[in-house]
Amino acid sequence: MRLGLFAAAMLASTAILPAYAQEAAKEIQPEEITNVKITAGTEMLFSMDLALNHVVDGRIYVMDAKTLKPIGIIGTGSLGMAQFPQGSKDIYVATSHLSRTTRGERSDFVEVYSGEDLTFKEEIPISNNRAQALNYRSLFQPSAEMKYLFVQNATPATSVTIVDLAAKKQIGDIPNPGCYGIFPSAKTATRFATLCGDGTVGTIDVKPDGTGEMKPSEAIFDADADAIFTSAYRWGDYWVFPSYGGNIYVIDVEGDTAKLVDKIEVAKGVEGNWRPGGYQPLTVHDKNGIAYMLMHSNGTEGSHKNPAEEIWAVDLKAKKVIGRSKSVPAIGLTVNQGDKPALFAIDGLKAEIVRYDLPDAGKEFALTPAVAASGGDLPDQVEVR
């Protein structure tokens, strides 16, 4: 009897609900995951998210550089590095994967993604010596002419993996003992430089069999008194490095050995003991020859990771500061290379990407955030293409 009454009640309740259920079914449809074709000519911004709370699941957040509206996401595995070469349609990621996500056998790859729709294209196995570190741009670099990809290794012994892009395979691991970071030649596809702890810069020419020997330069910087950041930007055929002490070093790596072109004393004589800081503290607009630096006051030994209080504009040709502006507490900075350049900063407190539209030439260097958007859980590198 009780079963019968229960069944009758259930039938009665379902007789009342069908209209609502049918309407809900129309409104809630299964989500279809698709890849959106990115409109040709779209300037894209890439926020590298270290994802520290789930570091085996790093991401690249891809945004429209003008509006910072999201376009898509690329997974970068465990502590992956990425490159977005100008003139290339592809995106390259050097990363590690564990067979059981957080444990198990480690496998390392260079992964290739389409810059047209962010889809995965192929992978190239590499040795598992790759430096698993924060997203420092100098740890993964393409050669001139996109002949090779160079990957910094640390076990902790340092070496550089050479990936032949045409052959789609690793062809060698070249030791760079006592040195770190990769700074390719702009003209010679087989050449790159590396910073060394004794203040020299080593130059390595890759042979066809993937081997090479390092040729040291003369001393270029004092590693104790004025160490330089490995996060450098290219300016023409030169590389531009900020130093912990508030200077800029312009270095030529095109020859058999590297040479110092210029040392610009940016912060000398400026009250407040200003120094660069952050994880990506300098960027350069190639055509204008202007470097932009993240600067903080009261700098001391060990303050080189401090977020910025100001952004300084430095004319590399005139060798002088041409503007200073207040900034969000930025830890990373990049600039696009168009005729109307904009700066993109990582707000280290809010984990946001902030776009600053630069003033026209001749106007006061005053920066006002134009738009901001989330850069992920812990963005530590920002690039634009």
What distance, in Å, lies between the first and last C-alpha atoms of the chain? 73
Both tokens assigned to 36: 């959106």
pLDDT at 216: 97
C-beta separation of 158 from 175 below 8 A: yes
SS3 content of the chain, % helix, strand, coil (to 5): 10, 45, 45
Phi and psi angles of residue 370, each rounded to the nearest 5 degrees, phi first = -90, -40
Phi-psi region of 231 (alpha: psi -120 to 50; beta: other; left: phi over 0): beta
Residue type, 2: R
Look at residue 359 in the predicted model and tell me its pLDDT.
Answer: 87
Domains and CATH numbers, the chain: 45-384 (2.130.10.10)
Return d(Cα 342, Cα 113) in angstroms, integer.
26
Number of residues assigned to the chain = 385
Cβ atoms of 294 and 308 within 8 Å: the answer is yes
What are the backbone angles phi and psi of residue 13, rounded to the nearest 5°?
A: -65, -40
Is residue 279 within 8 A of residue 383, CB to CB? The reply is: no
Instruction: Give the pLDDT confidence score for residue 14 in this predicted structure.
Output: 44
Q: What is the structure's pLDDT at 31? A: 74
Task: Name the 3-class secondary structure at 10.
Answer: helix
pLDDT in tens, the chain (385 residues): 444 444 444 434 444 456 655 566 567 777 777 777 898 889 999 999 999 899 999 999 999 999 999 999 999 999 999 999 988 999 999 999 999 999 999 999 999 999 999 999 999 999 999 999 999 999 999 999 999 999 999 999 999 999 999 999 999 999 999 999 999 999 999 999 999 999 999 999 999 999 999 999 999 999 999 999 999 999 999 999 999 999 999 999 999 999 999 999 999 999 999 999 999 999 999 999 999 999 999 999 999 999 999 999 999 999 999 999 999 999 999 999 988 899 999 999 999 999 999 988 778 898 999 999 999 999 999 999 9
Closest CA to 350 of 311, 320, 378: 378
